[in-house]
Amino acid sequence: MKRITALFLAGMLTLSVTACDKKKTDTEPLPEEVTEETVESTEPVYIEAADEDFVDIDFNISIIDDEPPVKMNVADLSGVDFGERLTPCKTESEYRDRYGYTARFGDPEMQAEYERLYEVFCNTPSAGHIESVAFIDDKFYFAVNYDDFCSRHDSSLFSFDPKSGEYKELDRRSGIEYNGCYAGLISCGGRLFFYDRPERMHEDDPENSTVYVLDPKTAEISEFIKVDYSIYWMEDTANGLYVSGSVANAETEENSWRFAYYDPETGLKLDYSEEPKYARFWGTCDGVPVEVSGGIDWSNGEETDEPVTIKTQYYTIKTDFKRVDNVLAWKDRLSVLVDENAAPLASEKRLYTYELNTMERTKMNLNGFGGNYVKAGEGFFALVESSDYSAGMNGYYQSQVQIYYFMPKIGTAFRMEKVNAYRTGIVQAGDMMYIISSQKAQQEDPHYSIGMYSNEGRADKLYWFETQEYNVE
């Protein structure tokens, strides 16, 4: 039975009006005619429903090469040079010893060659590569990482104007005590936010994190808030700046999770919660985080007896799924990616889309389309990666990323750009999303010869997309 509150209320209202009509007599004077303007509410009625309340429909995906309902822009970054630095952890004995090995298969010659290459590596500066991106007022902000050893001890923040091609260093953070690369870099309320979570070298070291804010007009960076737990995620929401993290309990080996909303202008805490288990939020619906409960217990990685329930400010859908891979929510529609096999080499990815206006649930086969999806407009982007091992050098391989734009309402995927990239990042900010693609610098590098892997790669292109109106009727 459909659990839709609106229908119940409408029925009760009809009964009450009928009962009142029966009490009227023929001698009662007729009321004066009053003409009132009827104002129809555009807000949807809150819906609570389950899988059995929807009619299932199988859809086949149509892949087309037509013009998609998005505008694509591209900026050439191949000439941008962030310089080179010798990160401080390469010269700090504690870190060098932590990553160094004392034996190589018991072979003295291999051991000697390893030590030689390790010494070369620890004395070789690294070129900066883009780690994350944010966007404010027609400018991009790059978190550039120079640490190819630990990935967290030497970084800079750059601004980039795609119209003029101008880029400028705004801030640098370097030192053993630093533990990040402008982590969580996002825009919120017209300002830029990132956090620093100091590395805990010993179990009794206190947990704390600091959130910083940058004013794009003055490039001034200041402390925004400081908390007594380790931050792991921040997000721009309609409720304010969302901050979440945890405090580790050494005795029980469990995490006590925290999350709060802050006013991005004043830093005032708007809401706060302490949960014994992870309170999952999966993307946003009109700026409000989507709450997912049941399924996997993220505090220990085990399945629970409760099926997955997805809640937004417009509806709650109780599914029969025990685990989901992705959730994309709109005001009147919900798409859920499910792997119905969940075996590493034999996945069966299906996209279930719940249409709240028609109470239909479509099912589409998305095998081969991965799970890296970002909601944009009335659809979502999918980045499908493949690897070309023949294009690599010194152990590197070249990735190719095919970009698709899916519109689940009509079962259509628009085939877009194909990007040759060593690494590709995808970020979303409101109705805009952007992609950084980068090629691996073709140079002799001792990383792979000594078993160390870095994310070093020089950016060559910046793609960004803006959604457009599209008639799906």
Read off the pLDDT of residues 274-293 as tens digits, 9 standing for 90 and up: 554 445 678 888 888 888 88
For 58-70, what is each residue's pLDDT tens digit?
988 899 998 888 8
End-to-end Cα spacing for the chain = 29
pLDDT (0 to 100) of residue 35? 53
Q: Is the pLDDT of residue 14 over 50?
A: no
Q: Is the pLDDT of residue 105 over 50?
A: yes
Most confident of 48-52, 231-235, 449-453: 48-52
What is the C-alpha separation between 421 and 117, in angstroms, rounded?
A: 27
Q: Is the CATH code 2.130.10 the one for domain 47-467?
A: yes
Most confident of 128-132, 145-149, 354-358, 409-413: 354-358
Q: Is the pLDDT of residue 263 over 70?
A: yes
Mean pLDDT on 431-459: 58
pLDDT (0 to 100) of residue 49? 95
Q: Is the pLDDT of residue 443 over 50?
A: no
Most confident of 40-49, 101-110, 161-170: 161-170
Which band of pLDDT confidence, cut at 50, 70 and 90, is reported for residue 192? very high
Across all residues in the chain, what is the average pLDDT? 76
Task: Say which range, 341-350, 364-373, 464-473, has the weakest mean pLDDT.
Answer: 464-473
Residue 179: φ, ψ to 5°:
-135, 60
Mean pLDDT on 227-235: 87
**% of the chain exceeding 90 in pLDDT:** 21
Residue 247's Cα: distance from chain center in Å?
Answer: 22
CB 465 within 8 A of CB 70: yes
What is the C-alpha separation between 346 and 425, in angstroms, rounded?
A: 26
Which band of pLDDT confidence, cut at 50, 70 and 90, is reported for residue 394? very low
Mean pLDDT on 170-198: 87
The residue ranking higher by pLDDT, 337 or 150, is 337
pLDDT (0 to 100) of residue 9? 32
CB 314 within 8 A of CB 296: no
Q: What angle do CA 445, 447, 450 make, to 5 degrees?
A: 125
Q: Which two tokens stand for residue 389?
A: 């091992």
Q: Which residue pairs, CB below 8 angstroms and at least 24 apart, start in 403-407?
A: 403/435, 403/463, 404/63, 404/369, 405/68, 405/69, 405/70, 405/376, 405/379, 405/380, 405/381, 406/61, 406/373, 406/379, 406/380, 406/381, 406/382, 407/69, 407/378, 407/379, 407/470, 407/472
From residue 215, alpha-carbon distances to 63, 231, 253, 328 in Å are: 43, 21, 39, 31
Residue type, 183: A
Q: Is the pLDDT of residue 130 over 70?
A: yes
Q: Is the pLDDT of residue 2 over 80?
A: no
For 250-314, strand residue ranges (E) read: 254-262, 269-275, 280-285, 288-293, 296-297, 302-303, 309-311
Q: Is the pLDDT of residue 318 over 90?
A: yes
Residue 366's Cα: distance from chain center in Å?
Answer: 20
pLDDT (0 to 100) of residue 135? 87
**Residue of 268, 209, 207, 199 lying closest to 234 (CA atoms):** 209
- Rounded to 10 degrees, what is the CA torsion of 423, 125, 231, 299? 60
Residue 36: φ, ψ to 5°:
-120, 145
The residue ranking higher by pLDDT, 269 or 18, is 269
Residues in the chain: 473
Q: Where are the alpha helices (DSSP H) in 102-212?
A: 108-122
Q: Is the pLDDT of residue 367 over 70?
A: yes
Which band of pLDDT confidence, cut at 50, 70 and 90, is reported for residue 424? low
Q: Is the pLDDT of residue 452 over 60?
A: no
Element at 59 (helix H, strand E): strand 55-59
Mean pLDDT on 143-172: 89
Q: Is the pLDDT of residue 296 over 80?
A: no
Which band of pLDDT confidence, cut at 50, 70 and 90, is reported for residue 409? confident
pLDDT (0 to 100) of residue 222? 93
Mean pLDDT on 343-351: 75
Which band of pLDDT confidence, cut at 50, 70 and 90, is reported for residue 423? low
Q: Which two tokens stand for residue 133?
A: 């991106």
Residue 246 pairs with which residues in a beta bridge? 230, 257
